[in-house]
Amino acid sequence: MLIALKAQETSAEQFSNRIVPQWDGVAHSTNALLLLHSAGFEELYPRRANEMDNAVQMLRTNPITRREVLERREEEANAQLHQNMIDQARAAEATE
């Protein structure tokens, strides 16, 4: 009987030693996120928060939709880059 109790105690201790550090890490991460959120994460970094939301939403979609979204974003980025180059050229001409 004493051996069985000792085995149960050792098993519980081993379980505790494995789970508690993992839970501490989860609790620490959760607290860090809560502190970050309470500091106004979306106010400090609204564009980054919006991009993160978009990324999460994209992960929930199927691969074909993801590819289409990525292609559309690439086209938009290229168009924006082209427009910026045109604006810079016009600004350079205006200063001459």
Distances in whole angstroms, Cα of residue 15 to Cα of each of 1, 18, 31, 36, 62: 21, 5, 24, 32, 39
Residue 31: what pLDDT? 58
Domain boundaries, the chain: 1-39, 42-96
Residue 65: what pLDDT? 74
Per-residue pLDDT of 38-90, as tens digits, reads 555 555 555 566 666 666 676 666 677 777 878 888 898 889 999 999 999 99
Whole-prediction pTM: 0.37
Per-residue pLDDT of 5-41, as tens digits, reads 455 555 656 655 555 555 555 555 555 555 555 555 5
Residue 85: what pLDDT? 92
Quick one: which of 25, 77, 28, 32 has its CA closest to 51?
77
Q: How far apart are CA 23 and CA 54, in angstroms?
A: 29
